[in-house]
Amino acid sequence: MVNNGYYQKIEQTCECGCEDRFVWPRIKASTASSITPPVSIPSGTILPIVNRYFYIVTADIHLTNGATINANLFWDDNGNQVTAFTIFQSNGYVNLFINGVMQEGGIYTITPASLVLNADNATIYRGTPIIIESLGFINQTT
């Protein structure tokens, strides 16, 4: 074994033919007393705003050429039909769930008027729930 203060080189041959291995030292935590806090701490509270929209597919949706589902087919948390999705552009994000599974961000686009699903060799079957979750954050100053 060679030790130069930074790592230890273990000279060892194993049955699988591995070459020499290095063992790095353990990470040591240091005190945070050297970190300077910010000069000005803004006052206020960050409040989340959550909007959820629900749709149960009424007929199979074949995604060969993509599909657009209008906002007026969705219902909100209170059971009211919606006319548009609330989208928080710069201070929030949107999640899409199909059959209870969160979907990749790159397979859909949501505008205030509709949900657009990209072309795919898939089908969303009748009775499948589609849920859009739109989250936004506002700063409420005191």
Does residue 103 form part of some domain? yes
In a domain, residue 7? The reply is no
Domain membership flag for residue 13? no
How many folded domains does the chain comprise?
1
Within-domain flag for 91:
yes
pLDDT digits (tens, 9 = 90+) for 1-34: 555 555 455 555 555 555 555 555 555 555 555 5
Burial class of residue 92 in the structure, from the number of CB atoms within 10 Å of its CB (0-12 exposed, 13-18 middle, 19+ buried): middle
Domain contains 21:
no
pLDDT per residue, tens digit, the chain (142 aa), is: 555 555 455 555 555 555 555 555 555 555 555 556 555 556 778 889 999 999 999 999 999 999 999 999 999 999 999 999 999 888 899 999 999 999 998 999 999 999 999 999 999 999 999 999 999 988 887 6
* Residue 105 placed within a domain: yes
Domain with 85, as residue range(s), is 45-140
